[in-house]
Structure 1
């Protein structure tokens, strides 16, 4: 059974046109029920993006579904870009979904029949910005709601920690955690917020910006929870930036504050485990950045792990532990490399 996953990168407005709505007029009309009485009507709904590799017209086809009703599909050129990411998510047991704006207009034709035109638009980010590049924190935590941008400072001192998150596309989403720390100055000290990715420091917030989130960090700390939020890492190996997208303490609704009162609040499916990052091949003209390796599949039974040419040979019987990543300085693996082979091969 698939678990619904709200794709990241949604900005609050629908900018991508869906194609083929004219073939699904009845399905779209049914979404409005009795509310479609005036000339124009619109609503915002959540839709699922479902790849359709058996489609006889386009093997990259991606259907747009509202519940049990298909209301269109991604345009052919867009489907080719999004299908690999969406297919990978579904293979991992996730059900990609996004917010959509549906518009409809109804009128009476010359022959007295009821006519309807409709359009659907999606709040859909670029393919490489749909899922985070890392999994959520493994310690008990709670994610702050998404909000405005806050720039992290001091990233230039942590390029080694940021290098695994630099992408050919120039940016990616990550889970980060926020921690209250005391910074020693020459004659005094001050409290600021330290920012970490997978428990590695990547910078901190200015004292002013720290004050915007410290009350929430302390509120969760009282319940024994770490504070998590979303961030974008962007740049290259000589200059990288981290930007948080987080609600300030004064913007948190009472419902969120009340929900965090337990010591270990139930995690959402997205917080329990995030889809594995999907590596999208960079265009030939893309600028050179530090290379990234694809995820290592888990070991099946009765076969052994093998490394690509140019990698150091691991000890006999060694398996990659959870979360292990190849050294970014090692050569990229061939596209068709078989990580696991029977004991008697190779």
Structure 2
């Protein structure tokens, strides 16, 4: 642009010099110079505008006729052009994708426009991102988005620890965002909105084994409101598979509590995308259900509560040892019974004896027994036995037993509505 202005100035000077060289007198020369000066002022902008228009047109022609950018690996040919349709990133690829080699790139179909090339490149990037995302996690490759298959039984079995902190992460949510969005709408009554985060802190979740999963025969899927929202990580599925399978063999549906978080945001291509996270409350596998069966007599199970230490376990090791998990702890179902004891002065005192499968494993002290005596007496009037969760830890030669039950003042109102029982897992598995 500077060169155009310099050229216009040189032409102006030459013209002024030619005109002023004529012998027409000083007034004539001045008038001619003034005229050429005004003409130069008027012509300079016109020349500049014309140059801009001409250069813009020339650049467009060059860009139109130039070969496509190598960034998209486009190959021009004189043969008829076959345009490959844009590929959509599969939700569940048939097999892991390997990086493309140079030979693969040379065999790609040609594209007729840059827009189609960009669309294909974007689809390929999304496909690679999908595979890389699954590789970063250790969950089995996800199945195509679908509704969960019909449940063979509608009898839920609430796993122990379902009321604890939800710290077990679910994986594969990225492939089931439509199902998660539907779950959010079911619980909140409205669809996800752009950049509006939604959290459902407590929702029932079903765990279901998926032996037909060809990527991982021990896969465990997570279902919320009938929608498949993800999987347990591969390592977690291997650890929990036996415990979950035992509940299913007994004809029940393993159930726990979950937390769900979701938000809709715009992606790098300006398209709206749902991001979600699901986490579960899960005990260690050996603590998901008791090691023994529920009482055979009529009973009502007390809610889980703070631990109360049992005394005298050393006198009942033969009754405790069958329920010990060496190197760890286990959960059993016990019963609480009121017994009379006479002091040295002949006074009668009531204490609580703890039994597992009808056999005594210890007793509560005179200080802790009064916390449970009112509950025991209340249930006895209704012809029921007080059942409790019992935590056992130790070995065949030494053991510790603790009662995990709510004390009488801690019982919630809903507990008094009727007997609380749990299913027997041996009902169908035997």
What band does the TM-score fall into relative to the shorter chain? Answer: 0.7 to 0.9
- Return the alpha-carbon distance in structure 2 between the equivalents of residues 167 and 55 of structure 1: 32
Task: Choose the corresponding residue for 1:253, options 392, 396, 412.
Answer: 412
The answer for unaligned runs of 5 or more in structure 1 is: 278-296, 299-346
CA contact (8 A) 1:132 1:274 kept: no
Other-structure match for 2:276:
118
CA-atom RMSD, angstroms? 2.2
Secondary structure, in 3 states, of the residue corresponding to 1:128? helix
The answer to whether the Cα contact below 8 Å between 1:50 and 1:86 also exists between their aligned partners in 2 is: yes
For residues 222-253 of structure 1, what are the alpha-carbon distances to aligned partners after superposition, in whole Å with 9 as ceiling and x for unaligned?
A: 11110001111111112211122211111112
Residue 197 (structure 2) pairs with residue 40 (structure 1)? yes
> For structure 1, which segment, 216-225 or 143-152, has the greater mean C-alpha deviation from structure 2 after superposition?
143-152
Selected match of 1:228 from 370, 383, 387: 387
Pick closer, same or farther for the CA change 1:127–1:110 going to 2, 3 Å.
Answer: closer
Per-residue CA deviations over 1:87-118 (Å, capped at 9, x if unaligned) read 22212212111111111123345665433211
Deviation of 1:125 after TM superposition, in Å, equals: 0.9
Instruction: Compute the displacement of 1:177 (Å).
Output: 0.4
**Deviating more after overlay: 28-37 vs 143-152:** 28-37
Q: Shift in Å at residue 47 of structure 1? A: 0.8
Matched, 1:21 2:179: no
Question: Do residues 275 (structure 1) and 425 (structure 2) align?
Answer: yes
Tell me the CA shift for residue 74 of structure 1. 0.7
3-state SS of the aligned residue for 2:316? helix
Structure with a larger share of its residues in helix: 2
Match of 1:135 in 2: 293
Equivalent residue of 2:353, what SS?
Answer: strand
Residue 31 of structure 1 pairs with residue 188 of structure 2: no
Whole-angstrom CA distance in 2 between matches of 1:39 and 1:194: 55
Specify the alignment match of 1:287 in structure 2: none
SS of residue in 1 equivalent to 2:373: helix
3-state SS of the aligned residue for 2:171?
coil
**Number of equivalenced pairs:** 271
Q: Shift in Å at residue 203 of structure 1?
A: 0.8
State the shift of 1:139 in Å: 0.8
Give the match for residue 291 of structure 1: none
Indicate if the aligned counterparts of 1:134 and 1:276 stay in contact, CA closer than 8 A: no
Task: Name which of 129, 153, 159 aligns with 2:311.
Answer: 153
* 1:35 to partner: Cα distance: 6.9
> 2:210 aligned with 1:52, yes or no?
yes
Deviation at 1:202, TM superposition (A): 0.5
C-alpha displacement of 1:207: 2.0
Deviates more, 1:168-177 or 1:51-60: 168-177
Q: Distance in 2 between matches of 1:241 and 1:252?
A: 25
Q: Does residue 252 of structure 2 align to residue 94 of structure 1?
A: yes
Per-residue deviation, 1:20: 0.8
Secondary structure in structure 1 of the residue aligned to 2:178: helix
Distance change >3 Å, CA 169–CA 36, structure 1 → 2: farther
Distance 1:169 1:26, change over 3 A: farther
1:107 aligns with 2:259: no
Which of 244, 255, 264 is matched with 2:403 structurally?
244
Quote the offset at 1:129 in angstroms.
1.0
- When normalised by structure 2's length, the TM-score is 0.59
**TM-score, length of structure 1 as denominator length:** 0.73
Say whether the 8 Å CA contact 1:12–1:123 is kept in structure 2.
yes
Secondary structure of the residue that 1:208 maps to in structure 2?
Answer: coil
Other structure's SS at 2:372 match: helix
Contact 1:128 1:169 in 2 (8 A): no
- Cα distance between partner residues in 2 of 1:8 and 1:217: 23
Deviation at 1:184, TM superposition (A): 2.2
Deviation per CA, 1:154-211, whole angstroms, max 9, x where unpaired? 1111111101111235221111100111122222332111110011111111222211
Q: Which runs of 4+ in 1 moved over 6 A?
A: none
Kindly indicate whether the alpha-carbon contact (under 8 Å) linking 2:264 and 2:272 is maintained by their aligned counterparts in 1. Answer: yes
Hey, what's the Cα distance between the residues in 1 that align with 2:426 and 2:169?
27
- Shift in Å at residue 67 of structure 1? 2.6
